[in-house]
Structure 1
Amino acid sequence: MAKTEKLSKKVAKLEKKADALRKQAEKKGKQLTSQAGDTFDTLTKEAKSRVGKEQEEESGGGKGRFALLLAVLAGVAVALKRKRDQELDEALWEEPRSV
């Protein structure tokens, strides 16, 4: 019975560590999501102001630049998502497996 109790204590300890790591990963995910949203908002505002200025300067060529800017925004969003996924994967690898 002593081995069983030792193992159950170890399992409980590992589960607590796993919960702490899960909470840490969730917190980091929320933080990165918030940062991505803020960056997206900033870039969107900047894009709108640039598009507005360009439309005032020239009436015909703004669509191509706007499409390019949207592509850049999409690239930033994908990069931030990959970074978040990578950090979550690293957190999962650090999480001990249940016995």
Structure 2
Amino acid sequence: MAKTSKKLSKKVAKLEKKAEGLRKQAEKKGKQLTAQAHDTFDAVSKEAKARVGKEPEPTGGGKGKFALLLAVLAGVGVALKRKRDQELDEALWEEPRSV
């Protein structure tokens, strides 16, 4: 019984080692294909833009757009708060409380 389980565990270990090697090969091939696809996409997009007559736009700038959006939202928030405070002040002056 112990002999059989020992043989099975050796076979399983061999298969696991082989599977690990195949996984590494697949990862390497996947990275190569991804890089090739990216390069091909860049080349085709540049060619298409050249045919249309436009310069390829530089990528990036997402952080700047996000910062601008946050600044606009903060400005709107401050403006709304000031307007609310002004309305509350006017309401206090129009309807004084009785003491």
Provide the TM-score with structure 2 as the length reference: 0.51
Instruction: Read off the aligned partner of 2:42 and give its amino acid letter.
Output: D
Q: In structure 1, how many angstroms separate the alpha carbons of the residues matched to 2:39 and 2:17?
A: 33
Alignment map for 1:58-77 (pairs within 5 Å): none
Q: In structure 2, how many angstroms separate the alpha carbons of the residues matched to 1:32 and 1:44?
A: 18
Q: SS in structure 1 opposite 2:41?
A: helix
* 2:26 equivalent in structure 1: 25
* 1:37 equivalent in structure 2: 38
Q: Does residue 48 in structure 1 map to residue 66 in structure 2?
A: no
Instruction: Read off the aligned partner of 2:8 and give its amino acid letter.
Output: L
Mind listing any 5+ residue stretches in structure 2 that lack a counterpart?
Answer: 55-99
Higher helix proportion, which one?
1
**Root-mean-square deviation (Å):** 1.2
Which of structures 1 and 2 has the larger relative contact order (alpha carbons within 8 angstroms, sep 6+)? 1
Deviation at 1:26, TM superposition (A): 0.8
Deviation at 1:35, TM superposition (A): 0.3
Deviation at 1:25, TM superposition (A): 0.8
Mind listing any 5+ residue stretches in structure 1 that lack a counterpart?
Answer: 54-99
Q: In structure 2, how many angstroms separate the alpha carbons of the residues matched to 1:40 and 1:34?
A: 10
Identity %: 75
Q: In structure 1, how many angstroms separate the alpha carbons of the residues matched to 2:19 and 2:36?
A: 25
Provide the TM-score with structure 1 as the length reference: 0.51
| Partner deviation per Cα, 1:47-89 (whole Å, 9 max, x = no partner) | 1111108xxxxxxxxxxxxxxxxxxxxxxxxxxxxxxxxxxxx
